[in-house]
Amino acid sequence: MIKLSKTKKLNARSWSLQALTTCPASKDKDGELVAACKGCYATTGNYIRFDNVIEPRKHNQKDWKRSEWVADMVQELDSDRYFRWFDSGDMYTLGLANKMLEVMKATPHCNHWLPTRMHKFSKFADVIAKMEALPNVVVRLSSDSVQGKTIEGEHTSTIIPTPADAPVGATVCETYANNGNCNGCRACWSKDVKTIAYPAHGVKMGKVIRLQLEVMA
């Protein structure tokens, strides 16, 4: 059974997994969580408090392995025009990534946005390139920084302490300046937007940034 969620601010549905446990790229070479993942919103609040949020993500980790999963996803997305992969979690195996690619190919009417850190692993390079080559897909490679540092890639994202800290040329997400509402903005899905800078939000991320600033002082 396909289980999707809908984030009110985006006005788009998403397919997600549990944070961190399906995010092998969330740790550095020493096994420590990277800065951006230390403040992950999906490890707080409703994501860890309510069963109706937790259980679908656990379910999805098993469900994608079904032989009928691709066909079921394609049918489920028949009326969707915008879709987000991973409100939480990541495409932690090539098996999942290749099935996602099949779904993307079979739903040209739907614009897919995939934020990921799996570009850190060379074995994912080919499938990511194939996804990016599709006209209806944007794969945003996520930076580990919470200070606005960018990475190489056709489409990327980074976290910034404040809008004033955005790197030159980046598009600043205005969601939290608009009371947590995207107001119809589709920049995350746009192939014309190279880098999106997300201003930090949430108590946990704020603490991560403060600690970094103290170390840098």
Per-residue pLDDT tens digits for 188-210: 999 999 999 999 987 777 777 77
* Residue 156 dihedral angles phi and psi, to the nearest 5°: -140, 175
- Domain limits of the chain? 5-216
Least confident of 20-34, 153-167, 170-184: 170-184
Residue 211 has pLDDT above 90, yes or no: no
Q: How many Cβ atoms from other residues are within 10 Å of residue 216's Cβ? A: 7
Residue 103 has pLDDT above 70, yes or no: yes
Sheet strand arrangement including 111-116 = 5-7, 12-15, 82-85, 111-116, 137-142, 156-160, 195-199, 171-172
Name residue 102's amino acid.
E
Q: Chain-centre distance of CA 155, in angstroms?
A: 12
pLDDT digits (tens, 9 = 90+) for 116-141: 999 999 999 999 999 999 999 999 99
Q: Which residue has the tokens 């420590």?
A: 32
Give the mean pLDDT of the chain.
Answer: 93
Residue 165: the pLDDT is: 94
Residue 146: the pLDDT is: 93
pLDDT digits (tens, 9 = 90+) for 30-79: 999 999 999 888 777 677 677 888 999 999 999 999 999 999 999 999 99
pTM greater than 0.85 (yes/no): yes
Residue 214: the pLDDT is: 59
Name residue 111's amino acid.
N
